[in-house]
Structure formats: C-alpha cells, structure tokens
C-alpha cells in the first residue's frame, strides 16, 4: 500500500491529495528548470547518450523508494508516525536541483556507453542516486539547525516549522539510516556490496568531520578571524562538501559499472577540486546574493562576524 493510500484509509483524503500535489509541483518545477539551461548542442549530445529521459525516470523511482521506506515493517510504527515520516521525507529530499543524484545516472550511462542498460540496471543507478539525495537532505537538515538558518530550497527550514523544532535532529538521523536500508535491500547480493558499504562509511565520516571543522573553526565570532586562513577553509569544504557532492556520485557509478575505485585516484583528485570550487561559489552567494534568487537564507559566512 502506498503512503497516499494509507492516508486515505485513515480518513485523511484531502490532506493526502494536498501533500501529493505539493510534492509533484516541487518535482515539476525543478524538472522544468534544468533543460532550459542546455544549448541545442548539449541537448543533442545528451540525446545521443541516452540521458534526455533519465531525469524523468529518476523522478519516478522516488515514489517507489519513499513508499518502501514508509511502509517498512521492521518497526511497529503507528499510522501517525508513518504520516510524519512521509511528510518529512517529501519536505526534505526531493525539492532541490537533484544534481548529485542525477550525477550518478549520467556517470553510469557514460560508463556503460556502447552496452545495453536494462531497466533493472537503470533502477539500481536510481537507487544509488536517491541515496546521495537522501544523504544531502540529512546533511542540509542538520546543518541548518547548527547554523541557525531560516530558509532552504525556497521554503522555511524543516526544523523551523512549529510542529518540528529540535525533533528535526532525529529526522536527520532517520534520513541517514534510510541509506543503509536501501543499499542492503538492493545490493546485498552484488559483488561490490562491501565496497559500497566502505565507500558510504568513509564519506559519512569525512562529511561529519568536515562539519566539525566548520563548527569549531568558524563559529567563534570576530575574535577568531586571526586564526582563519584559506588553507583552513579549503580543508573544511573539502571534507564537508566536496567528497559527498562530487566524488560520491561518480564513485557509486564506477562501482555499479564494475570498476575498482583504486584505479581512479586521479579522477578522485579532480572531483575534489571541483567540489572545493563549487563550495567557494556557494558560500559567496550565501553571503552576498539575494536570498530570493538563491532560495535560502543562511549564515555560513556571516556567523563568523557575530559579536
């Protein structure tokens, strides 16, 4: 039974329809934004490589994964708890640009160029892509709480909703736990299963340590500016953002295609540098851009200057 059907069975038909419409509008708006940025040459290239319809197929996989997680019977949850879980997932996971998840799909299709990609193969790529988006949602949810942020993805931060508050901390932990559930369900029998677990464990630790470096190095007020350096900043963004945003999607695609990660150390170095460059741009926009344009109000840089 889907989450929507469960809500209806409990007399919550109107609320279910409203949540479903809100979710589909999020996906539609984000889906409409990307293709317009492609030139005709880029669109032709994506078509030649089978990537044009990949986004739509990726989006369709989301509902299946969400319903599986909400309906998971490993815990005896109440209907109220499952409704909370579904709303929390829909609010935090699918509303972004989905670049990280789609990078898994695009990379996998390029790696498999010249060979047939079955529906099952493509769905497994979607699972790993959504795992990256689940991780992104967890990281942003918790980071917003620690940074005292206000908005994210054109909406109020989850923890700032009056019914959520600091309960959002536990919601972030749940999102992270979902990743292991999905990997175990779909990849347990794969020859690269242990490699996947090691990759995700390593990236989770690196990201958490990057967050720690950020918290102890930049939340000290103006008096701590003397200790701040570009080397320290690069260290923070390397571990907090670059590994999971740029290396993780490609590494997942490599493992899915049967490659050995140790054979691609140079590629890893390039992706990390790309991630650092991306985060420099993002932090600059957080500080100086119009929040109405970037869709969020954050304190990533400004917090250094408090007091």
Q: Confidence band (pLDDT; 50, 70, 90) for 90? A: very high
pLDDT at 48: 54
- Cα of 17 vs its chain's centroid, Å: 25
The boundaries of the domain holding residue 59 are 3-305
127-138 confidence digits (pLDDT tens) = 999 999 999 999
pLDDT at 231 over 80: yes
- Cα of 111 vs its chain's centroid, Å: 22
For the chain, give the DSSP string.
--HHHHHHHTT-HHHHHHHHHHHHHHHHHHHHHTGGGS-HHHHHHHHHTT-TTHHHHHHHHHHHHHHHHHT--SS---HHHHHHHHHHHHHHSTTS--HHHHHHHHHHHHHTTTS---HHHHHHHHHHHHHHHHHHHHHHHHHHHHHT--EETTEE-GGGSTTTTTHHHHHHHHHHHHHHHHHHHHHTTSTTHHHHHHHHHHHHHHHHHHHHHHHHHHSS-GGGGGG--HHHHHHHHIIIIIIIIIIHHHHHHHHHTT--GGGGHHHHHHHHHHHHHHHHHHHHHHHHS-HHHHT-B--TTGGGG--
In CATH, what number is assigned to the domain containing residue 35? 1.10.600.10
Choose between 32 and 162: higher pLDDT. 162
Mean of the pLDDT values across residues 279-298? Answer: 72
32-63 confidence digits (pLDDT tens) = 444 334 555 555 555 555 555 888 999 999 99
Nearest to 89 by CA among 191, 188, 165, 20: 20
Task: Report the C-alpha gap between 5 and 12 in whole angstroms.
Answer: 10
For 284-303, give the DSSP string.
HHHHHS-HHHHT-B--TTGG
109-158 confidence digits (pLDDT tens) = 999 998 999 999 999 999 999 999 999 999 999 999 998 989 998 899 99
Task: Report the C-alpha gap between 243 and 272 in whole angstroms.
Answer: 6
Please state the domain count of the chain: 1
- Report the share of the chain in percent with pLDDT over 70: 74
Task: Report the C-alpha gap between 18 and 1 in whole angstroms.
Answer: 18
Nearest to 254 by CA among 114, 127, 112, 120: 112
Mean of the pLDDT values across residues 17-23? Answer: 53
Q: In this predicted structure, which of 20-29, 259-268, 279-288 has the lowest mean pLDDT?
A: 20-29
pLDDT at 225: 67
pLDDT at 35: 37
């Amino acid at each position: 039974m889907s989450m929507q059907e469960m809500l209806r069975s409990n007399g919550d038909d109107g609320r279910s329809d409203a949540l479903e419409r809100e979710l589909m509008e999020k996906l539609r708006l984000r889906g409409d934004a990307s293709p317009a940025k492609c030139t005709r040459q880029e669109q032709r290239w994506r078509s030649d490589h089978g990537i044009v319809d990949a986004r739509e197929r990726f989006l369709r996989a989301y509902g299946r994964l969400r319903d599986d997680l909400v309906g998971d019977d490993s815990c005896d949850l109440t209907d109220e708890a499952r409704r909370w879980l579904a709303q929390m997932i829909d609010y935090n996971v699918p509303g972004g640009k989905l670049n990280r998840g789609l990078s898994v799909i695009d990379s996998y299709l390029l790696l498999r160029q010249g060979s047939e990609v079955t529906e099952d193969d493509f769905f497994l790529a979607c699972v790993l892509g959504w795992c990256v988006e689940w991780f992104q949602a967890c990281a942003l949810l918790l980071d917003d709480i620690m940074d005292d942020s206000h908005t994210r993805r054109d909406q109020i931060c989850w923890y700032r909703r009056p019914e959520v508050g600091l309960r959002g901390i536990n919601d972030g932990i749940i999102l992270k736990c979902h990743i292991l559930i999905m990997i175990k369900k779909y990849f347990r029998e794969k020859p690269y299963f242990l490699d996947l677990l090691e990759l995700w464990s390593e990236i989770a630790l690196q990201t958490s340590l990057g967050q720690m470096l950020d918290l102890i190095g930049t939340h000290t007020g103006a008096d701590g500016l003397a200790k701040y350096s570009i080397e320290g900043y690069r260290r923070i963004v390397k571990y907090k953002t670059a590994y999971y945003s740029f290396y993780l999607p490609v590494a997942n695609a490599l493992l899915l295609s049967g490659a050995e990660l140790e054979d691609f150390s140079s590629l890893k170095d390039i992706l990390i540098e790309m991630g650092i460059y991306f985060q420099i741009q993002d932090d600059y926009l957080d500080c100086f851009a119009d929040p109405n344009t970037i869709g969020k109000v954050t304190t990533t840089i400004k917090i250094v200057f408090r007091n």
